[in-house]
């Protein structure tokens, strides 16, 4: 997506002016990147500066959490579901090692029979 900056605008002004579109684009780009296993998601370009906005893998979860309320407000329900699924998966992966370790230690031990 390409946004055009007016001479009297800052980059923040451009993004604010196109807020709904930007929120949708960020959410879709991050979900698509996660689906494809990509390390970064291209979001948009602002001209004439040729400023490109990307979201990196380390920011995927936070970006989805931040944008979800806006997507809900826009009533993009399929995208909301996609975002919620990815947030859940990303949160699970953060705690996966701890969960697996807990599951292993909670397995009942076989008792030895005394003779």
> Strands, E, within the chain: which ranges?
2-4, 40-47, 51-56
- What is the rounded CA–CA span in Å between residue 98 and residue 81? 26
- Name the residue with tokens 């500066």: 49
Burial (Cβ within 10 Å: 0-12, 13-18, ≥19) of residue 2: exposed
Q: Is the pLDDT of residue 107 over 80?
A: no
* 50-65 pLDDT tens trace: 999 999 999 999 999 9
pLDDT category at 111 given cuts 50, 70, 90 is low
* 18-48 pLDDT tens trace: 999 999 999 999 999 999 999 999 999 999 9
- pLDDT value of residue 94: 81
Token digits for 57? Answer: 């893998």
- Provide mean pLDDT across the span 99-115: 62
pLDDT category at 114 given cuts 50, 70, 90 is low
Q: For the whole model, what pTM was predicted?
A: 0.80
* 70-106 pLDDT tens trace: 999 999 999 999 999 999 999 998 887 667 777 665 5
Residue 40 sits at φ, ψ, to 5 deg, of -150, 155
């Amino acid at each position: 997506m390409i946004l055009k900056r007016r001479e009297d605008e800052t980059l923040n002004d451009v993004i604010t002016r196109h807020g709904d579109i930007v929120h949708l684009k960020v959410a879709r780009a991050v979900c698509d990147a996660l689906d494809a296993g990509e390390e970064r998601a291209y979001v948009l370009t602002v001209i004439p500066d040729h400023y490109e906005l990307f979201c990196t893998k380390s920011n995927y979860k936070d970006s989805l959490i931040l944008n979800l309320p806006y997507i809900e407000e826009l009533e993009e329900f399929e995208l909301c579901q996609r975002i919620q699924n990815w947030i859940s998966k990303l949160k699970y992966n953060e705690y996966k090692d701890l969960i697996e370790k807990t599951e292993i230690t909670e397995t009942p031990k076989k008792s030895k029979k005394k003779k």
